[in-house]
Amino acid sequence: MVDEAHATGVFGPQGRGCVEAEGLAGQVDLVMGTFSKALGGFGAYLAASRTVIDTLVNTARSFIYSTALPPTVIAADLAALRLCLAGETRGEELLRRAGGFRSALRGKGWTVGGESQIVPVLVGRARLPSPSRKDSRSGGSSRCRCARPRSPKGRPGSVSP
């Protein structure tokens, strides 16, 4: 199983995610993702065999007791997928910009991780107090504090419970 939530629309020539980028299409049993991140839509998907899909449609409580997406949302999701298939994902540009941002932060002395469009800045407990909701969106950026288990224990950025 591969979760492509942050990879769909960014990685691979047609924005199909890491599975496509690594040449593994057809070799992964379950590929799931979302339309809400790089594609700017709403909803999620699971690509799997007909047997798996039929089983989930008929037994997954969260699916059985949910309602269908509105037709306009589905149309927007399909339009985003058509752009991806046409090679118009802008994923390379996003990754280039994230790399530039990461380099600029390192140049200012910040400890920065990652290689994708997600740029984790490791600040440790003492350098950044937990911001209020209002303060966390000041200056045109948004930030959130991540504690274990999202931050490995003993690494900068990890917070004791």
Task: Tell me if 4 sits within 8 A of 17, measured CB to CB.
Answer: yes
Asked whether the CA dihedral 124, 126, 130, 136 is positive or negative, the reply is negative
- How far apart (Å, rounded) are the C-alpha atoms in residues 133 and 150? 20
Instruction: Report all structural domains of the chain as residue ranges with CATH numbers, in order of start.
Output: 2-85 (3.40.640.10), 123-161 (no CATH)
Length of the chain: 161
Q: What's the pLDDT tens digit per position in 95-121?
A: 999 999 999 999 999 999 999 999 988
pLDDT at 160 exceeding the cut of 70: no
Per-residue pLDDT band at 146 (split at 50, 70, 90): low
